[in-house]
Structure 1
Amino acid sequence: MINKRRILLENSLSYAILALVGIAVLIPVLWMLSTSLKNDTEIFTIPPRWIPMEATIAPYQRIWTDYPFARYFLNSFIVVSLSTVISLVFSCLAGYGASRFHFKGKGLFLTFLLVTQMFPSIMLLIPFYKIIQTLGLINTHTALIMTYISFTIPFCSWMMLGYFQSIPKELDEAAAIDGCSRFRTFVQIVFPLSLPGVAATSIYSFITGWNEYMFALVLTQSETMKTVPVGIGQLIGQYKIMWNDMMAASLVAIIPLTIIFLFFQRFLISSLTAGAVKS
């Protein structure tokens, strides 16, 4: 009886803590939703109201009619999708090679990938700008793609390395006995078993690129090349901040991330049951 009460108390405490954390996480999102439904006058009402007196969807309409957010979303989708695919290809190959082959300088190579993540982004801004400018790629999608993959490939390679190391090498040996080449073994046998790791890597790479602001601001100049974070930042004017429009744009910007996460989460969970070696 005492053990049951103790377990019940521990479970109740755990759920209470989770509920508090969940509320703390949802409060900013709910406030964003509340602000996005207010008119230009009500957002400055004191004391602030959680529930708008006269809810309006005008801010959601304005982000599509008064601002070129459709173009911003298209730019972000193109740049982030391509950079995610490129990062996955190179990180999977690098992770598989590092997990299966022993070569001179392997430790130095992996250390170099890790060290590249230790530099603050602001320190790399000027070198990146000079390189992109020399290549004549300022104000292009290619500039942003090159920049984003330089950030994501090293970390994604480490993520995939850890996952490939968890896949038994006996599978490679069995495939080699059956006459499979190394590349065919990777594509047909090892890669399908690494799909949970690919899903996690995809989520990381997509979120990193979608939320990036600083490099997108510096490397793009025209309105037709700017991304969603830059577009949202432009709602801060010199004399006025469009809080309701900004919150509406921010909530709409969350939708692609939520869809990507839900899609890959389901795919990840369904892939966790994939077996490798029958014992």
Structure 2
Amino acid sequence: MNRGASYWTLTYAALFAMAAYNLTPFFWMITTSLKTDMEVTSFPPTLLPAELTTGAYARIWSQEGFPLYFLNSIKVSGATALLSGAIGILAAYGFSRFAFKGRTVLMAAFLASQMLPGVLLVGPYFKMLSALALYDTHLGLILAQTTITLPFTIWMLKGYMDTIPVEIDQAAMIDGATRWQCLIHCVLPNILPGLVATMIFSFLLAWGDLLWALCLITDSAKQTMTLGITNLVGQFRVLWSDVMAATVIGCAIPAFFYLLLQRYLVQGSAGSAVKS
């Protein structure tokens, strides 16, 4: 075997091992959700279900509250993505197109805020939302998660806007366009991949959040899917097939959006890396 063939053989072997390492938990999750309760707890464990059943999915959807958890997650995650994107566009345009005192310091502060563990911010957010009568509300949870995703959104959109020549704005303003019209008609169409990428990031982060929802939501009717899944873990017994079925359903929405919009995600990530 020549050197070139050996190189490609090792490359594909490494890629296969990496794919297997990343996909095995998802494979185990799906197969477990299709097993009976007795088979899930049997020893030695089975790789594939001996008796294929969708009973766990039927029990999950028939449970009181689970469809509501699903809708709550869509509401909170979608609103977080929209709010983060809307504010991020305006802030990124200001940082990209205007030179003002303290701009570098503010951008550095945004970057530094991403280094703080989220658990350190739960206490201050709890006090602020309680003082504003927003504790245990979806609005309070949306605002809290938006502040977590916003710094990344601003950084990414600014890097993408920096690749668009300022002369485009200047030419539009010579023709009588306002700053707002320049943003909407000249800049926004060119940063659409970056905007979609940041909104996907915000949506996925809010969808998979457990810490903030656990600390800022107590009403069972307002809980998100992540909290609903934790409720399936009982004190003395865990129905693993039901837990895995709920997890599969919870993974379906972000996986669908990612596959649908992955072209924009790749373009947005590459575009923002051109210039920061």
The TM-score range, normalised by the shorter chain, is over 0.9
1:75 paired residue among 56, 72, 75: 72
For structure 1, the residue ranges without an aligned partner over 5 or more in a row are 275-279
Q: Contact 1:199–1:265 (CA<8 Å) still a contact in 2?
A: no
Instruction: Measure the CA separation in 2 of the matches of 1:114 and 1:270.
Output: 22
State the partner residue of 1:152: 149
Kindly indicate whether residue 183 of structure 2 is the aligned counterpart of residue 161 of structure 1: no
AA of the residue aligned to 2:13:
A
Q: Contact 1:195–1:268 (CA<8 Å) still a contact in 2?
A: no
- Higher deviation after alignment, 164-173 or 80-89: 164-173
State the partner residue of 2:109: 112
Instruction: Measure the CA separation in 1 of the matches of 2:178 and 2:110.
Output: 28
Q: Contact 1:212–1:229 (CA<8 Å) still a contact in 2?
A: yes
Instruction: Measure the CA separation in 2 of the matches of 1:203 and 1:7.
Output: 39
Instruction: Measure the CA separation in 2 of the matches of 1:66 and 1:188.
Output: 48
Shift in Å at residue 52 of structure 1? Answer: 1.2
Q: Contact 2:31–2:48 (CA<8 Å) still a contact in 1?
A: yes
State the partner residue of 1:57: 54
CA deviations over 1:183-232 (Å, ceiling 9, x no partner): 11111011111011112101110110000101101211122100011111
State the partner residue of 1:88: 85
Q: TM-score, length-normalised on structure 1? A: 0.91
Q: How do residues 174-189 of structure 1 correspond to structure 2 at under 5 angstroms?
A: 174-189=171-186
Shift in Å at residue 175 of structure 1? Answer: 1.7
State the partner residue of 1:261: 258
2:211 paired residue among 214, 232, 236: 214
Instruction: Measure the CA separation in 2 of the matches of 1:191 and 1:35.
Output: 45
Q: Contact 2:195–2:268 (CA<8 Å) still a contact in 1?
A: no
Q: TM-score, length-normalised on structure 2? A: 0.92
State the partner residue of 2:274: none
Runs (4 or more) in structure 1 with deviation over 6 Å come to 269-272
Shift in Å at residue 66 of structure 1? Answer: 2.3
Instruction: Measure the CA separation in 2 of the matches of 1:177 and 1:11.
Output: 56
Paired residue total: 270
Instruction: Measure the CA separation in 2 of the matches of 1:125 and 1:52.
Output: 41
2:193 paired residue among 192, 196, 207: 196
- Higher deviation after alignment, 34-43 or 12-21: 12-21
DSSP-derived class of the 1:240 partner: coil
State the partner residue of 1:246: 243
DSSP-derived class of the 1:115 partner: helix
Instruction: Measure the CA separation in 1 of the matches of 2:88 and 2:154.
Output: 4
Instruction: Measure the CA separation in 2 of the matches of 1:225 and 1:219.
Output: 10
State the partner residue of 1:122: 119
Shift in Å at residue 266 of structure 1? Answer: 3.7
Shift in Å at residue 252 of structure 1? Answer: 0.5
Sort the Cα spacing of 1:35 and 1:268 in 2 relative to 1 into closer, same or farther, 3 A: closer
Instruction: Measure the CA separation in 2 of the matches of 1:258 and 1:40.
Output: 27
Sort the Cα spacing of 1:7 and 1:188 in 2 relative to 1 into closer, same or farther, 3 A: farther
Instruction: Measure the CA separation in 1 of the matches of 2:6 and 2:176.
Output: 59
State the partner residue of 1:34: 31
Shift in Å at residue 152 of structure 1? Answer: 0.7
- CA RMSD across the alignment: 1.9
Shift in Å at residue 39 of structure 1? Answer: 1.1
- Higher deviation after alignment, 151-160 or 133-142: 133-142
DSSP-derived class of the 2:37 partner: coil
Instruction: Measure the CA separation in 2 of the matches of 1:256 and 1:183.
Output: 34
State the partner residue of 2:7: 10
Shift in Å at residue 17 of structure 1? Answer: 1.6
Shift in Å at residue 130 of structure 1? Answer: 1.1
